[in-house]
Amino acid sequence: MKDIYSKTTVNINGEILDAENAKISIFDRGFLFGDSIYEVSYTTKRNILFYEEHMDRLFNSAKLLNMNIFIDRDKLTQEILKTLKASNLDDGYFRLIITRGESEISLNPNLSTHNNFVIMVKPRPSYSNELYIKGIDLLLSNVIRNPKNATDPNAKSGNYLNNVMAIAEAKKKGYSDAIMVNGNGQLTEGTTFNFWIIKGNQVLTPMSDNGLLMGITRHKVLELKNIDDLEMKEAELFPKDIFEADEMFITSSTRGVMPISKILTNDGLKEFQSFEKTNRVANAYGQLVENYLAESKYKY
Amino acid sequence: MKDIYSKTTVNINGEILDAENAKISIFDRGFLFGDSIYEVSYTTKRNILFYEEHMDRLFNSAKLLNMNIFIDRDKLTQEILKTLKASNLDDGYFRLIITRGESEISLNPNLSTHNNFVIMVKPRPSYSNELYIKGIDLLLSNVIRNPKNATDPNAKSGNYLNNVMAIAEAKKKGYSDAIMVNGNGQLTEGTTFNFWIIKGNQVLTPMSDNGLLMGITRHKVLELKNIDDLEMKEAELFPKDIFEADEMFITSSTRGVMPISKILTNDGLKEFQSFEKTNRVANAYGQLVENYLAESKYKY
């Protein structure tokens, strides 16, 4: 239990707190209804990665949920930098959560007249080298991704039970994590990551229209457009495409580009042997990250 | 702001607290992911209404979410009674929330080794007589209810953004609250209530299979089966049935049976004039509540 607070620094509404004493009102709508939005990024040598992109997405999540943000973006930036400084970590993970504040116990979001914000900073998680060499094993979950017109997956919110249920199913079946289809059987995304299917020189990721969170890493890889003969683009993908794939990989802010070793589906197991093209994408993305950090404006 | 704490008593993990000081760790999975379940009921003259039914449903929500409850049901009962006593309210509202506790920042629910529980008691809300005489106005929302195989609406959880979005749309259009269809266009439920359509002597409510929370009041009204010539039952219902309805009403634990005055849909406005049959259901339900309270085992 105590480990979860280790080396963790918290800022609630501007006040730096020890993690163990970092508490929020039970009347906060984030606690009552999951009525919150958040972003996660990390730092390398005291530079924040893709800061503007994360903040743009945060404000887009707010827009998708009709959430008023009463806090200035510059103020949030100052508070994030202040918390990172206080953490004294060179390579940190940070999570920014903004809620619709305390209100009466009513779903009506118009009762919200302020926000609460929480910033959590902890050491940047390290994933074992083996995962990058051998890949991560995934389940194609029977839990369907929430539809866009119900609870839009592109709003990065405090409603994560859909994803919790998918990962619970994966763990039960002995797998590390899960990917999901939508109600039309189209592939969408993983519980906390996007994924990609390589067929020949096509490097494909599910279309945003199919209902998924538009990951920053996903966006950066798409922006690369080409790596020599490899072509990155969105596509409508189905479970059958998994079986036609040469290679597959995941992308996420904390994990970067990580190969997939195997995927268990209701139609059988697909295993991947080669990660050659995945490694080329990983290298290109790694270079992009290095270039960004060299010019980063968000240092602490 | 201060009004939300007025006459409110809170119990967190057994400790009675002033509402203003009632806080929970930001590492609680309820705050991070909406990874919690809850129940709401009320008391009349220090008797809890339908206590066993609410607790049964709470444990069913836990089961649907694979949530381990490490707290004894009798212990929860003692804590609820203790909080009600501490509130010194004869007619109270209480909300019991159970979360998957604090954990590392990971979706994996297996990291949960304990729960946190929160009990909030406040004065029982009173709804204006006018609402019971003239009815409540509703919007048929364009927000689709979360599908059963994505985030099951029958698990009463801390993921309520789906419903928040529906009520937000209603308020924007000048309506008090909203009802929703599922992805197949079948009617399901309201944001915090079930609803009913009366056609002739048929008193119909959407089928549980269509994805909805099986309300306690809904269940009690269904159990009545017949009130003279009126017959209560589940049915597959569509928006067109709204226009064929003689009367409509909602049911909820806090509001009981309340008529609907009008519903705005994409196909036009349906207004209701007569509430004669609705009143007969309301009277029968009111009698059932009185009988229950007279024999209630849950007093404080």
**B66-124 pLDDT, tens per residue?**
999 999 999 999 999 999 999 999 999 999 999 999 988 999 999 889 999 999 999 99
**The pLDDT value given to residue B111:** 87
Nearest to B183 among A26, A147, A161 (CB): A147
Q: What is the chain A residue with the closest CA to B142?
A: A149
* Shortest Cα–Cα distance, B112 to chain A (Å): 10
pLDDT score of B1 more than 80: no
B4 vs A contacts (CB less than 8 Å): 27, 102-105
Cβ-defined contact of A167 to B107 (cutoff 8 Å): yes
Return the HEC string of A264-290. EECCEEEECCCCHHHHHHHHHHHHHHH
Cβ-defined contact of A149 to B143 (cutoff 8 Å): yes
Confidence of residue B2 (pLDDT cuts 50, 70, 90): low
- Calculate the alpha carbon distances from B149 to A144, A162, A181, B38 in Å: 6, 9, 11, 20
**The pLDDT value given to residue B296:** 86
Cβ-defined contact of B160 to A28 (cutoff 8 Å): no
Q: What is the chain B residue with the closest CA to A116?
A: B26
Pair of tokens at residue A270: 């697909």
Cβ-defined contact of A165 to B3 (cutoff 8 Å): no
**The pLDDT value given to residue A3:** 83
Q: What is the chain A residue with the closest CA to B121?
A: A105
Tell whether B27 lies on the interface with A, counting CB pairs under 8 A.
yes
From the candidate CATH numbers 3.20.10.10, 3.40.50.720, 3.30.9.10, 3.60.70.12, the one assigned to the domain spanning A129-291? 3.20.10.10
Tell whether B150 lies on the interface with A, counting CB pairs under 8 A.
yes
- Answer yes or no: pTM beyond 0.90: yes
* Burial label, B296 (beta-carbon count in 10 A; 0-12, 13-18, 19+): middle
**The pLDDT value given to residue A296:** 86
Instruction: Report chain B's terminal Cα–Cα distance, integer Å.
Output: 30
Cβ-defined contact of A164 to B4 (cutoff 8 Å): no
Residue with tokens 């009366």: B198
A27 vs B contacts (CB less than 8 Å): 4-5, 19, 22
Fold of A2-123: D-amino Acid Aminotransferase; Chain A, domain 1 (3.30.470)
Tell whether A97 lies on the interface with B, counting CB pairs under 8 A.
yes
Cβ-defined contact of A151 to B162 (cutoff 8 Å): yes
Tell whether A238 lies on the interface with B, counting CB pairs under 8 A.
no
Residue among B159, B162, B176, B191 with most chain A CBs within 10 A, to mutate = B159
HSE-up (13 A, CA, CB side) for residue B263: 28
Tell whether A183 lies on the interface with B, counting CB pairs under 8 A.
yes
Cβ-defined contact of B24 to A24 (cutoff 8 Å): yes
Tell whether B66 lies on the interface with A, counting CB pairs under 8 A.
yes
CA dihedral A268, A269, A274, A279 (to 10 degrees): 110
**The pLDDT value given to residue B118:** 98
A104, A75, A133, A88: which is closest to A258 by C-alpha?
A: A133
Tell whether B2 lies on the interface with A, counting CB pairs under 8 A.
no
Q: DSSP states of A98-128 as a string?
A: EE--B--S-S-GGG----EEEEEEEEPP---
Q: What is the chain B residue with the closest CA to A146?
A: B150
Task: Extract the residue ranges of chain A whose pLDDT is less than 70.
Answer: 1-2
**The pLDDT value given to residue A69:** 97
Q: What is the DSSP letter of A272?
A: -
Tell whether B28 lies on the interface with A, counting CB pairs under 8 A.
yes
Strands A92-99 and B92-99: unpaired
**The pLDDT value given to residue A9:** 97
Measure the CA–CA gap between A278 and A259, rounded to whole angstroms: 6
Instruction: Say if residues A94 and A85 touch (Cβ distance below 8 Å).
Output: no
In chain A, ranges of CATH 3.20.10.10 domains = 129-291
What is the average per-residue pLDDT within B208-234? 97
* Shortest Cα–Cα distance, B268 to chain A (Å): 21
In chain A, ranges of CATH 3.30.470.10 domains = 2-123
